[in-house]
Amino acid sequence: MKTFAVPSSYPRRSSLLAFVVLWGALRALPGFAQSAAPKPALPEAPAPQPSALNNGSPEEASRYYKELSKKLGVLTPATIESQATLEDLLSYLGYKELTPEDVEFAKPESLMEGTATLAQALPVGGKVALKADTGSFMARSSEWLQSKMSIPAGVIVPDLVVANATRADAGASSLFEVVDAGGGKIGLKADTGNYVSRCNGCVAQGTIEDFATVHVPGATPPPLSQFTPELLPNGTVAFKANTGNYLARCRNCSPRINTPDAVGIHATDARNQPSAQWTIVRVGVSSGDILVSRFFAPKIVNFKDNPAERKTGWRRLVRMKSRPGSEARKHFVESAWILFNHFTGPSVHSPFGGTNVPLSAKNGSVNTQVALITQCKAGQTACQNAELNSIYWMDFGPSNKGYKLSYKLDAFFDAGSLPGAAPYYVPNGCDTCHGSLRGQAVLNHLDTDHWLDRLTDGDFPALNKPDAPPVLFDAGKDVKSARYAEAFGVLRQLNQEVADMQKRVNPKGFHLVATNKWLELHKTSVAPEPSLIKRAISFSNTGHPLKKDRKPTAAPLDWTSSADDKELLGLMNTYCYRCHGAVRYDVFSKDMVADQSSPILDRLDPNPTQAKIIGFKMPVDREMSDKDKKRMIELIEKLYTQTH
């Protein structure tokens, strides 16, 4: 077996035996053995290409989806494989008003604010509050007259609509149910069961003819109670009545009204009249229910391609909390993390398509990955008894083919030793990159600093062009701008949620240490941190079998500002971090790299026996330059000598 001579004259330990032992251990894991299974309901998938990772099989993925359905209540075990689409998942989470296209292509700020579409802002059957341009809310009022009136018997006195409520939850009178009136029209039903309606000449001495009142009953709203909602460019909504005028706030419209702001139907140009623009606040929907971030994704790129011809990877992450009463919430699914994967050619700079482009012409997601995060809260005995995995994985096919459930993600993690993409099946292909612990997988943090590193190493020349899109797509390129701070704030919130999840599932793992380091560096700063040493983590993988060959240390071995450390960490950040920021070890922990130094040397330059194992040679995604490979071997050998 091949060994490297090291300055100490001691032969380093070969990792081939360790690899064989590890392979045997992986095969012994539950679900790893490929037993016979009935033909899957989905179309027959191609045979998996050999891979360095345990990427699973169609048969195992089929069994997994049936188990997921049974555990989480997503459709049924008999139908999930043949019927499930991303639309079904949105309904499962409680977002029936949204389409997959909305979630993939709507402007992030609109989707997060709940105004991406009229259906999202005004869901039929939902209750909403309408905030006027003054900040006050529309409300039904039965105490609107300045003086008592003598009402003849049989005469119905309508309730007036005013804009004087101070909060959306000021009371039942400030909430209105959205009722479908057909033909794109809606009705607004008040708490009395009657509709907001146009009432001509109902208010004496009024400066306008048509006031909004609440007095018309019925199962469906009649024409004078129907409004055509219009979503305005600023995210507010206008309501056009059957006269062509709009529902609007009216200041001092009649001396007979004891509140300054009544609501009438008199505005003629909603786009240019703020009084006709209403901000929708939905009941039961909290700020932060949806978070969206778009960014450059070097992890999904095919590095085997020449840099000048290499497609650039982009991702749109949509985190959606499950809604109260949804099937997801009933089955203890706390949230869904939906990851859309997009690619652009070197000269194409529109990674996410346009908002007014037909789906067939958009640069849609080639594959959409989903992590369903479960959480058992205190006192939820049923959840504890269900013995749920921390994450359940789902995968959906291309946008332009209907977002249909898929067994696998086709990715380029092993492109250096394979002719193309390899299939990574649920759940193995997902668990491997997310903690490698079946049932206790964790989310990985969004490493903005690493993404920005990749602009300087020559791998992505297209992104260095002046007209190239920014790495943090929603932030822009000016780190001092309000836009950058706002978009970065979303990433900070997402990473905080990642840390919370990691702490709950695997509090002693290196993944949590790495996420906390990012949060520490960016607690108040949005600027990238270029220093790899400042980004390094202090972590010791206590009890790891390879540690017994190490010289004992009182504390974890940390990266320093020495020239060798800076150079080695820089090389590993470029060539290794793609996988080894999450799989088995993190290159930003010098102590973990020291543990792995012997296997790393074997994999950088395998002997003939090792080289026969497909995927053994590292990095698996491409060939290193001779210069970089030689230098990395020298530095790793030096580290091995110092620590063994």
> How many independent structural domains does the chain possess?
2
Tell me, yes or no, whether 18 and 141 share the same domain: no
Secondary structure letter of residue 593 according to DSSP: H
pTM: 0.86
Do 358 and 341 touch, CB atoms closer than 8 A?
Answer: no
Q: Does residue 53 lie within any of the structural domains?
A: no
- Identify whether residues 161 and 273 lie together within a single domain: yes
Mean pLDDT of the 339-363 span: 74
Query: How confident is residue 496, by pLDDT bands cut at 50, 70 and 90?
Result: very high
For residue 131, tell me if it sits in a domain.
Answer: yes
162 and 15 part of one domain: no
Report the pLDDT value the prediction gives residue 205, as an integer from 0 to 100.
83
Strands (E) located in 375-464: 391-396, 405-406, 408-411, 422-425
Nearest by Cα to 580 from 628, 498, 531, 510: 510
Give the three-state DSSP class for 466. Answer: coil
> In this model, does residue 408 exceed pLDDT 90?
yes
CATH code of residue 196:
2.80.10.50
**233 and 131 part of one domain:** yes
Q: Output the pLDDT for position 355.
A: 52
Secondary structure letter of residue 8 according to DSSP: T
pLDDT attached to residue 568: 98
155 pLDDT band (50/70/90 cuts)? Answer: very low
Domain stops at, among 282, 299, 319: 282
**Quick check: is 626 in a domain?**
yes
3-class SS shares of the chain: helix, strand, coil, % to 5: 30, 20, 50
Number of H helices, E strands in the chain: 19, 20
Predicted pLDDT at 170? 86
Nearest to 433 by CA among 298, 580, 583, 578: 583
Same domain, 273 and 180: yes
pLDDT band at 458 (very low <50, low <70, confident <90, very high): confident
Q: Give the mean pLDDT of 208-219.
A: 94
Q: Rounded mean pLDDT of 223-227?
A: 97
Q: What percent of the chain has pLDDT over 90?
A: 70
pLDDT tens digits for range 108-123? 999 999 989 999 999 9
Are residues 133 and 270 located together in one domain of the fold?
yes
Q: Residue 219: what are its φ and ψ, rounded to 5°? A: -70, -35
- Averaged pLDDT for residues 416-431: 83
> Do 14 and 127 lie in a common domain?
no
Domain assignment of residue 304, yes or no = no
Q: What pLDDT, on a 0 to 100 scale, did the predictor assign at position 259? A: 84
The CA distances from residue 417 to 314, 543, 603, in Å, are 24, 32, 13
Nearest to 246 by CA among 263, 261, 222: 263
pLDDT, position 442: 97
Q: Note whether 143 and 119 are within 8 A (CB).
A: no
Please say if the pLDDT value at position 360 is more than 80.
Answer: no
| Among 263, 282, 301, residue at a domain's last position | 282
Nearest one of 285, 267, 293, 275 to 323, comparing CA atoms: 285
Indicate whether 149 pLDDT > 70: no
Q: Is 33 a residue whose pLDDT tops 80?
A: no
Which band of pLDDT confidence, cut at 50, 70 and 90, is reported for residue 357?
Answer: low
Residue 87 counted as domain residue: no
Least confident of 245-259, 406-420, 450-464, 532-546: 406-420
Going 283 to 286 to 287 to 293, the CA torsion angle's sign is negative
pLDDT digits (tens, 9 = 90+) for 318-349: 999 999 999 999 999 999 999 999 998 877 66
Torsion of CA 232, 237, 241, 243, to 10 degrees: -30
Beta-strand runs (E) in 84-236? 127-131, 137-141, 159-165, 176-182, 185-189, 195-200, 210-216, 228-231
Choice among 1-15, 41-55, 424-438, 447-461 with the minimum mean pLDDT: 1-15
pLDDT at 490: 98
Does residue 121 share a domain with residue 21? no
Read off the pLDDT band of 374 (50, 70, 90): very high
Tokens 């971030």 locate to 293
Residue 426 placed within a domain: no
414 falls in which pLDDT band (50, 70, 90)? confident
DSSP H helices in 94-200: 100-105, 108-113, 118-121
pLDDT digits (tens, 9 = 90+) for 504-534: 999 999 999 999 999 999 999 999 999 999 9
Q: Has residue 182 been placed in a domain?
A: yes
Same domain, 131 and 271: yes
CA 415 to chain centre: 26
184: left (phi over 0), alpha (psi -120 to 50) or beta: left
- Beta strand pairing status for 176-182 and 185-189? antiparallel
pLDDT at 356: 52
User: What number is the average pLDDT over the span 87-92?
Assistant: 98
Q: What are phi and psi of 310, to 5 degrees?
A: -70, 135
Q: Please report whether residue 105 resides in a domain.
A: no
Query: Residue 49: pLDDT above 70?
Result: no
Q: Nearest 5 degrees, angle CA 398-CA 401-CA 405?
A: 65
The mean per-residue pLDDT over the stretch 382-400 comes to 96
The values of phi and psi at residue 430, to 5°, are -90, -50
Res 39: pLDDT: 40
639 and 597 Cβ atoms separated by less than 8 Å: yes
Which residue range(s) make up the domain with 18?
Answer: 1-30+531-644
Residue 1: its H or E element: none
The answer to whether 264 and 210 are in contact (CB under 8 A) is yes
Residues 15 and 123 in one domain: no
**Percent of the chain residues topping a pLDDT of 70:** 87
CA 425 to chain centre: 20
Specify the higher pLDDT residue, 154 or 305.
305
Residue 52 above 70 pLDDT? no
Which pLDDT value is given to residue 543? 86
pLDDT, averaged across the chain: 88
Which of 282, 311, 334 is a domain's end point?
282
Q: What is the pLDDT of residue 634?
A: 98
| Whether residue 25 is found in the same domain as residue 119 | no
The more confidently predicted of residues 467 and 531 is: 531
Q: By mean pLDDT, which of 50-54, 72-76, 164-168 is the weakest?
A: 50-54
Residue found by looking up tokens 């360790």 in the block: 18
pLDDT at 345: 84
Residues 1 and 120 in one domain: no
Tokens (6 digits) for 331: 């089955």
